[in-house]
Amino acid sequence: MIIDHISRWREALGFISDEGQFYDYLCKALQCFPDEGAVPLGNKGAKALVSAYTPGKKETLWEAHRKYYDLQFLVSGQERIGWAPLKGLTEEIPYDEEKDIAFYRGTGDFFLFRKEYFILLSPDEGHQPGLFTPGQTPVKKIVIKIPVAHIR
């Protein structure tokens, strides 16, 4: 996992191929939040998932993906997020290849995820996004799904 502020994007994520197009997309989203839904980014399978919601979940099952890295970015608001190495979790709901997701049980760490920060999560990391915080406010979030080939 990598977590950092958008101002340190190049130092933290310069190793990702085509990272410039992801950065440009997020900078535009800071100026004018895009419509909710999925948006293709480039021609190599990356996509942005745009959403707006009020986090209300308590701790839940961990999720993990195999085909994509998750690059999560908060345009506004804040939420708690959980993180755990996948090797320390136990699979609860088997991997669904079509949805690229499996769910796990176990323990991990939780922290506050704030606006203008990003988190890069790899396929060997479980996460619990969208968790409630006291004084919760609405969130505008973009998750860029980056195919594994962009990073390896």
Output the pLDDT for position 42: 85
Q: What angle do CA 54, 55, 59 make, to 5 degrees?
A: 165
Q: How many helices (H) and strands (E) does the chain have?
A: 2, 12
Output the pLDDT for position 151: 84
Give the pTM.
0.92
Q: Domains along the chain?
A: 2-150 (2.60.120.370)
Output the pLDDT for position 152: 62
Q: What angle do CA 96, 94, 124 make, to 5 degrees?
A: 85
Secondary structure of residue 25 in the 3-state scheme: helix
Output the pLDDT for position 120: 96
Per-position pLDDT tens, the chain of length 152? 999 999 998 899 988 887 888 999 999 998 999 999 999 998 889 999 999 999 988 878 999 999 999 999 999 999 999 999 999 999 999 999 999 999 999 999 999 999 999 999 999 999 999 999 988 889 999 999 999 988 86
Question: φ and ψ at 22, to 5 degrees?
Answer: -70, -45
Beta bridge pairs of residue 81: 111
Buried b (16+ CB within 10 A) or exposed e, 28-44: ebeeeeeeeeebebeee
Q: Residue 28: left if φ>0, alpha if ψ -120 to 50, beta else—which one? A: alpha
Question: φ and ψ at 26, to 5 degrees?
Answer: -65, -40
